[in-house]
A and B are shown apart, each in its own frame.
Chain A
Amino acid sequence: MTSEQISTLFSLMLEYTIPTLKIFGYTLLYSIPLGMVVALLKMCKFKPISWLTNIYILIMRGTPLLLQLIVAQYSVPYILKSDICPDFLRSLLEGVDIRSESYIFNMMLFAFILNYAAYFAEIFRGGIESIPKGQYEAAGALGFGKVQTFFRIILPQVAERVLPASSNEVITLIKDTSLASAIPYMEIMYIAKKQVPTYASLLPLFMAGLFYFAFASLLTVLLSLVEKSFSHSWKRGMKKFARGIFRRGNA
């Protein structure tokens, strides 16, 4: 390929980093809070809720994301066709235009979010359960309420502990966005695949690899900075907090 062709290809791919980053951003934005909720539901004392959550996590982690993306795309027309579809759901879904771009994007995002929330939930649960029971008792003895204990004492420690594992998921996610090309949704990988026959060359795929590598490298640096700043600021905060309790105790 000539350098002119390479620069045309590069600018085309640069243009389609936006859809890739859109999938990445929206998935993180929704799956992290959802993962938190799922983690709490899984630890719920009321067993049926805990079981249901377990089944959800089992399905999401037990089937390939690629398959989930495809199932999500075809879910609406198939639910409409099935006999067991209740009327309220039918009337809701009949307004959906399965040809529209927003349908393709939203259903894809739906699958990404549900999948990643399951992984985040397990990371968060591990983090919460790693805090010794003694801390809850100690906090209780110092006069902290349950909510206050969770948000002011447990959560900051959990956040620090789950950061490395979550960073892993975040970096995996930027590469998993490439699965969207199978739907197909136009992002970097889709463009790369379709440009291969155009130039009769594998260079577009190689170039896509460079884009993902650049994103992952950037994320690695950013996440390690977050990790550092998090542990420092939390320790500073705890010192201040402890001093506060100490002064109040003296007064």
Chain B
Amino acid sequence: MKTSILKRMIAGFSAAAMLMAGAGCGSNNTPAQTTAAPAGTTAQAASDDSLQKILDAKKLVLGLDASFPPMGFTDEANEIVGFDIDVAQEVCNRLGIELVKQPINWDTKEEDLNLGKIDCIWNGMSINPARAEAMNLSEPYMKNEMIFVVPGNSEAKSIDDLKGKTVGVQTGSTAQEILEAADIYSSITVTPLEDNITLLNQMELGFSDAVFLDSVVANYIITENNKDYVVLPGNLEAEEYAIGFRKNDQTLRDKVQETLSAMKADGKLGEISTKWFGSDVTTVK
């Protein structure tokens, strides 16, 4: 109900804005006219030809936030790289199609997927009930733990020591949800911020005493950048990463899943995992 009102409002508002523009000035700016697949139709396809569409277009558009090392992030040369990207590239190679890496705004990812801007969300996305409802998720391909990181010189040696302290967490993340549901939540002050790296930097500068984030990200940053951080023993909840497809795109989802399983079987997935994590941490069957 809420979304349908929102959708009407957006449609009405943009229609009004367009009329205004027409009345005010004629048109300064015509939208791009290109010949690729018509927009909007993919989301409403009655029969499921999602896989065929991708194969015909010869490309898979992967949506990602591009600031989530080591899953998918931007390197020094502004290239999008990461574990997820390597895996997606291999899947595309096996399907004989091109991989298009499309940066998106993480806050509007569900819209981008449903409206057909992208074909899948593949960016270390944790499974939660809302996402399972909004998307057609793949089988989980990796486990992730939510952990607390403190500066090397911190007095806190365990999660219990954090009582009364300030903890940073990424907004809109599953980490935030887990932290809010945890017992310790009532005895800590939480400072939400847009990304984990800024949070860690703020912790270094003394804005907070600890950061609650994905172990995958924390371990990568600590080893890659030689940071003097300590991971507190224990975790609040283990969660899993999955790939998100449109609700109706069953054939595409199944094909990607099948390709991942084949990659796990012939060792390619393990090889990519070793490159990024030092061992095969994937849970694909």
A residues adjacent to B (C-beta < 8 A):
5, 8-9, 12, 30, 34, 37-38, 41, 52-53, 55-56, 59, 68, 70-72, 74-82, 84-85, 93-100, 102-103, 105-107, 109-110, 113-114, 117, 182-184, 186, 190-191, 193-202
Q: How large is the interface on B (under 10, 10 to 19, 20 to 34, 35 or more residues)?
A: 35 or more
Contacting residues, chain A, for B195 (C-beta < 8 A): 193, 196-197
B124 → A minimal CB distance (Å): 12
Pairwise interchain contact B33-A95, C-beta atoms closer than 8 A: yes
Pairwise interchain contact A113-B29, C-beta atoms closer than 8 A: yes
Pairwise interchain contact B31-A81, C-beta atoms closer than 8 A: no
Instruction: List residues 212-226 of chain B with CB under 8 A from any CB of chain A.
Output: 221, 224-225
Pairwise interchain contact B24-A201, C-beta atoms closer than 8 A: no
Pairwise interchain contact A98-B29, C-beta atoms closer than 8 A: no
Question: Contacting B39 at CB < 8 Å: which of A53, A80, A105?
Answer: A80
Cα A94 to Cα B198 with chains together (Å): 41
Q: With A74-B111, A75-B18, A77-B40 as known contacts, state yes or no: A198 contacts B75, CB within 8 Å.
A: yes
Q: With A75-B18, A194-B66 as known contacts, state yes or no: A106 contacts B77, CB within 8 Å.
A: no
User: What is the predominant secondary structure among interface residues of chain B facing chain A?
Assistant: mixed
User: What is the predominant secondary structure among interface residues of chain A facing chain B?
Assistant: helix
Pairwise interchain contact A96-B20, C-beta atoms closer than 8 A: no
What does the 1/0 interface line of B36-54 toward A look like (CB < 8 Å)?
A: 1111100000000000000
Pairwise interchain contact B74-A114, C-beta atoms closer than 8 A: no
B16 beta carbon closer than 8 Å to chain A? yes
What does the 1/0 interface line of B188-204 toward A look like (CB < 8 Å)?
A: 00000001111011000
B121 → A minimal CB distance (Å): 15
Pairwise interchain contact B197-A100, C-beta atoms closer than 8 A: no
Contacting residues, chain B, for A193 (C-beta < 8 A): 67, 195
- Smallest CB-CB separation from B34: which chain A residue? A97
B181 beta carbon closer than 8 Å to chain A? no
Closest 6 interchain pairs by CB? A75-B14, A102-B32, A194-B74, A82-B11, A97-B34, A77-B115
Contacting residues, chain A, for B103 (C-beta < 8 A): 184, 186, 190, 194
Contacting residues, chain A, for B11 (C-beta < 8 A): 75, 78-79, 81-82, 84-85
Q: With A98-B117, A194-B67 as known contacts, state yes or no: A82 contacts B8, CB within 8 Å.
A: yes
Cα A184 to Cα B115 with chains together (Å): 16
Q: List 8 A-B contacts (CB under 8 A).
A: A34-B28, A41-B24, A77-B40, A82-B8, A98-B39, A106-B32, A193-B195, A198-B73
B280 → A minimal CB distance (Å): 24
Pairwise interchain contact A183-B24, C-beta atoms closer than 8 A: no
- Smallest CB-CB separation from B27: which chain A residue? A110
B213 → A minimal CB distance (Å): 12
From A75, A93, A94, A186, residue with most partner B Cβ within 10 Å: A75
